[in-house]
Chains A and B, each alone.
Chain A
Amino acid sequence: MATKLTDEQLVESAVSGDSDAFGEIVKRWERKIFALCFGMLGREDDARDAAQEAFIAAFRNIKNFRGDAKVSSWLHRIAVNQCLTTKRRTKSRSEDYLNVETEEESRIFVAPAKLSPLRTTEQNERMTLVRQAVTSLPEELREVVVMKEFEEMTFQEISEVLELPLSTVKSRLYTALKQLRRKLERSPVEIA
């Protein structure tokens, strides 16, 4: 029954004390919020923690939801803020792990079986470079790239979440992609 309700109706139910309604909201948006956090932070474990904190924060502040914005926009805004908080909190640590690829990061990528070991190594290095390039973008550019590429949000949705004009969103994304290209061109590994 809850699946037929809109996000806004579910929030109303959650405000009135129905915790299952908020659980349904979490179920609907957990993948996208997780993807957003992954793109913003660049690490799966950090993304998991940040998304978890974001949902907890949303549940705590659900009574403050005004209803003048979409629930998805509200959740994304909370998640972005949580990611920025996590990023600041782990700033020194992130600088370390971006420079040194850990074993865990190596396990994340599972190459297709038909790739040769050399090809697999090159691909791993390339993915590491892309991750470093994305996570080293300024925050205002990175969030736009992640929302667009990881969550496949439209420009209009991004502008609503970030409360920015549509033209600003487009220009930020364009600038972000150009900076990414420059960062990747400087890297020794050829980018496909």
Chain B
Amino acid sequence: MKDHNINNSSCGFSGDLIGYLYDEIGGGERRVVEQHLAKCDLCSTEFAAVSSARNSVGEWFSQEFVGSPTPKFEFAPQRQDEKSIVWSVWTMLSRIRFRVPVLAAASALVIFGAVLFIRSTASDTEVASVSVPAVSTPSDEGIAANLGESSPVPVQTADSTNSIDIAADSVEPSRSVDVNTRALSSRKMARQEPKTRETRPGERNQRTFPSDRSVAEGMQTKPSLNGYEEKEDETLRLEDIFSEIDAS
């Protein structure tokens, strides 16, 4: 007859049941457990439950782990010293609860550096954007040409900020009589010249200004905005006509 009223916890067989389940029990104890299981429903039910759980775990293990290959583990003795220095510093910092402040300081440093970089880049861009072509005034050019001297010609450079002042000084609004749109467009093209162009010492700026052409070619000039003497576009057309006549 089975012992229906015996609580499993009071049976004292849990240790033996688990030993019996994993076959780590002596022959005498095995027989005792088997006899008890034969007459104790509660213990036999519990044994079936833990046995089922064990099978489930074993199934999971066999399905998901047995087939997976063993990774190649390395302990890297050569790199041990290199890593240990960094790691020991980091461990020391983290032990004294410096991890968060250190991370915050590092982040702040990175952000500060980024802001400095952006500001410097932005200021360079600003200087470059306000650099207007430094041109000589017609009066200076004319005087220099008449005297046969090489007048210092303002040179547009990428980092030259003096050219702004020179250009500003050379503006004579009162002399702006005629606004030629083509002349304006040619000035725009002059502004779009490479900013990095440099002039060697003693070398005259290669840009041809209206005053130079007017003196050299004797062409008709007329004052325009900012006091520049702009070449008439008819010059080009006359040259084309003459060239066509010569060709014919």
Which A residues contact B (CB, under 8 angstroms)? 19, 22-23, 26, 30-31, 34-35, 38-39, 44, 48, 51-52, 55-56, 58-60, 108-110, 123, 126-127, 130-131, 133-134, 145, 148-150, 154-155, 167, 170-171, 173-174, 177-178, 180-181, 184, 191-192
In the assembled complex, the Cα of A19 lies from the Cα of B64 at a distance in Å of 33
Closest 7 CB pairs of A and B: A177-B50, A180-B53, A59-B75, A130-B60, A181-B53, A177-B53, A181-B49
Do the beta carbons of A180 and B65 come within 8 Å of each other?
Answer: no
B105 within 8 A of A: no
How many interface contacts (CB-CB < 8 Å) are there between A and B?
112
Chain A interface mostly helix, strand, loop or mixed?
Answer: helix
Do the beta carbons of B52 and A181 come within 8 Å of each other?
Answer: yes
Which B residues contact A (CB, under 8 angstroms)? 14-15, 17-19, 22, 24, 46, 49-50, 52-61, 63-65, 67-68, 70-71, 73-77, 80, 84
Do the beta carbons of A178 and B53 come within 8 Å of each other?
Answer: yes
In the assembled complex, the Cα of A44 lies from the Cα of B71 at a distance in Å of 10
In the assembled complex, the Cα of A58 lies from the Cα of B73 at a distance in Å of 12
The smallest beta-carbon distance between A187 and chain B, in angstroms, is 10
- Pull 5 A–B residue pairs with CB atoms less than 8 Å apart, ordered by A: A52-B73, A149-B58, A180-B56, A181-B50, A181-B52
The smallest beta-carbon distance between A15 and chain B, in angstroms, is 13
Do the beta carbons of B63 and A34 come within 8 Å of each other?
Answer: no
In the bound complex, residues from chain B placing their C-beta under 8 Å from that of A59 are: 75, 77, 80
Chain B interface mostly helix, strand, loop or mixed?
Answer: helix
In the assembled complex, the Cα of A59 lies from the Cα of B168 at a distance in Å of 75
In the assembled complex, the Cα of A43 lies from the Cα of B150 at a distance in Å of 83
| Partner among A31, A48, A173, A192 whose Cβ is within 8 Å of the Cβ of B56 | A192
Apart from A39-B61, A127-B63, A173-B18, 5 more pairs, CB < 8 Å: A59-B80, A134-B60, A171-B14, A181-B50, A184-B56
In the assembled complex, the Cα of A185 lies from the Cα of B22 at a distance in Å of 22
Do the beta carbons of A34 and B71 come within 8 Å of each other?
Answer: yes
In the bound complex, residues from chain A placing their C-beta under 8 Å from that of B22 are: 148, 155
In the assembled complex, the Cα of A24 lies from the Cα of B162 at a distance in Å of 75
